[in-house]
Structure 1
Amino acid sequence: MTDNWLGPKPGSHMVVAGGCGGIGAELVREAVDKGLRVTVLDLAQSRAAQPDMQGVDYIDFDARNAASISEAVAAIGAKTDCVDSFVFLCGYPILPRRPLAEVALSAWNELMEVNLTSAYLLAGGLLPLLRKSDQAAIVTVASSLAYQVMPGMGAYAASKGALVSLTKALAMECAPHVRANVVAPGAVDTEFLGGGRGRDSSADRSWFDDMAAKYVSTIPLARVAEPSDVTGPIFFLAGAGSKYMTGQVLHLNGGRLTP
């Protein structure tokens, strides 16, 4: 442990929803290395895509299903009486990209269930455990698309814009005992670009790869983000280094967007 670590203290309990995805798996690996106690919530098929990490508690759940979310929260409560940080990483885009007029209502509803409603239900369910911590923090992962919408990604952008507002509402309503902040990454080089790990999708990432050179040319730091570019800011917002921050958004896009 380096002296300049600004994240959660060793031994603290972090719950990660979506902890088997590209960013989530990296976050969990780093959290274990830092001595955190970690509970991961994710789809069974996402968990099956990689070996379980030693020392991590895994709870299978489906973010589309309110009963599954309630069961996951109850399972956490059965194992612990305190959660110090909750990181929300669930989310996926509708691929292939399409205009809003071509998004079926069923697809819209499912996207909102996973990207937004599950955050609302999980945060509400975990609040009693978070309030028992003296360092409680919620960190949600939104997207730069909430601020700079890309044609064909309107439904995803809407869900992430709403997630930002939800997090700000949690920050205001849960202060001063629980902080809530957002990270809003640009494109990150993970399976998400092909629809997300563990989802039943025939989409591939060619839609992004075909425009990658043009996209990177608009980024001052001249590259697409890697998962570790996002995990550091998440740890910062979950730890004592950000103890006077709540209701804020950290934009992680290599300088492409500076709101």
Structure 2
Amino acid sequence: MTQPSKIAIVTGGGTGIGRAVSLKLAREGCAVAVVYSQSAKQADETVGLIQAQGRDAFGIRADVSDRTAVSAMIDSVVARWGKLNYLVNNAAITRQLPFDELDLVTDEIWDELLSVNLKGTFNCCQAAAPILRQQRGSAIVNVGSIAGETGYGSSLPYAVSKAAVHGMTKSLARALAPEVRVNCIAPGAVDTRWWSGYEEKMRKLSGALPLQRISTPEDIAESIYMLLISPSITGQILRAENGQTL
């Protein structure tokens, strides 16, 4: 394996946007920890694709909503590589629910989505912060959603959870400055397995996009990498939505 210049963790790294980010970081010279919760097979495939590029990678199973599991995940990365430069908080879940049927939103759904999407993101930032602070130019990118900006998406609890991630990004950018930059990307519709069977809803949510296209995971990966390496950008929410909110 080629000696890595940087070490990166990508949560939800086995599929979709997470896989695209993991591969992009590997192409840019990083060793990558591919974190997954349930997608073991896909995570192994992603690790194999990275290793085929001559870069080091390994998969780690961790429930990001579990602080103990997250701490162990960070320890595993440090034990293998001795440092950490980048953290991409991509792990998230959703429920497809009609927006106007509030009675469908249960305590269980609130707890589940906030536990992973919001608390899970914080858990990873909290555990990684002391290690990231040791490296010059270290950075975090949280994957939010345009739903967190517009208030409309796959479900009301999902949109609210992502709005909270956007707000937390700004707070973390202040808390971790000047050593660690923290930014957030807010993708619009992205062609991933999340929308399998809901393509019409995806297009409706997207509206009449000025760029007349739906983003690919690779599109979002390029923007995430830009945020990771941009030394003057912190506390920002980058909308990557093909002009949806113009």
Deviation, structure 1 residue 249: 1.0
CA distance in 2, matches of 1:94, 1:143: 14
Structure 2 equivalent of residue 72 of structure 1: 73
Q: Residues 213 and 93 of structure 1: is their aligned pair in 2 closer, same or farther, counting only changes over 3 Å?
A: closer
- Residue 220 of structure 2: which of 216, 224, 230 is its match? 230
CA distance in 1, matches of 2:31, 2:40: 18
Deviation, structure 1 residue 151: 6.6
Deviation, structure 1 residue 103: 1.4
Q: Which amino acid aligns with 1:28?
A: S
Secondary structure of 1:49's aligned partner = helix
Structure 2 equivalent of residue 42 of structure 1: 36
Secondary structure of 1:187's aligned partner = coil
Deviation, structure 1 residue 215: 4.8
Q: Which moved more, 1:13-22 or 1:67-76?
A: 67-76
TM-score, scaled relative to structure 2: 0.88
Secondary structure of 1:147's aligned partner = helix
Secondary structure of 1:114's aligned partner = helix
What pairs up with 1:164-183 in 2 under 5 angstroms? 164-183=166-185
CA distance in 1, matches of 2:140, 2:128: 10
Q: Which amino acid aligns with 1:49?
A: Q
Correspondence 1:246 to 2:239: no
Q: Which has the higher helix share?
A: 2
Q: Percent identity?
A: 29
CA distance in 2, matches of 1:107, 1:84: 34
Kept in 2: contact 1:11–1:36 (CA 8 A): yes
Deviation, structure 1 residue 63: 2.2
Secondary structure of 1:232's aligned partner = helix
CA distance in 1, matches of 2:153, 2:125: 30
- Residue 157 of structure 1: which of 159, 173, 177 is its match? 159
Q: Residues 219 and 92 of structure 1: is their aligned pair in 2 closer, same or farther, counting only changes over 3 Å?
A: same
Question: Higher relative contact order at CA 8 Å, sep ≥6: structure 1 or structure 2?
Answer: 1
Q: Residues 152 and 33 of structure 1: is their aligned pair in 2 closer, same or farther, counting only changes over 3 Å?
A: closer
Q: Which runs of 4+ in 1 moved over 4 A?
A: 212-217
What pairs up with 1:178-257 in 2 under 5 angstroms? 178-193=180-195, 205-206=196-197, 208-215=198-205, 218-239=208-229, 242-257=230-245
Secondary structure of 1:210's aligned partner = helix
Kept in 2: contact 1:187–1:253 (CA 8 A): yes
TM-score, scaled relative to structure 1: 0.84
Structure 2 equivalent of residue 142 of structure 1: 144
Secondary structure of 2:39's aligned partner = helix
Deviations 1:1-60 (A, max 9, x none): xxxxxxxxx6111111111120111111122122211111111x3121362322312111
Q: Residues 151 and 11 of structure 1: is their aligned pair in 2 closer, same or farther, counting only changes over 3 Å?
A: closer
Aligned-CA RMSD value: 1.8
Q: How many residues align?
A: 234
Kept in 1: contact 2:85–2:139 (CA 8 A): yes
CA distance in 1, matches of 2:204, 2:173: 37
Q: Which amino acid aligns with 1:30?
A: K
Q: Which amino acid aligns with 1:26?
A: A
Deviations 1:229-259 (A, max 9, x none): 10111001111xx20111011100000113x
CA distance in 1, matches of 2:231, 2:86: 12
Structure 2, unaligned runs of 5 or more: none
CA distance in 2, matches of 1:12, 1:244: 19
Secondary structure of 1:118's aligned partner = helix
Deviation, structure 1 residue 64: 3.2
Q: Residues 143 and 66 of structure 1: is their aligned pair in 2 closer, same or farther, counting only changes over 3 Å?
A: same
Deviations 1:95-116 (A, max 9, x none): 2445343211112101111101
Deviation, structure 1 residue 157: 0.6
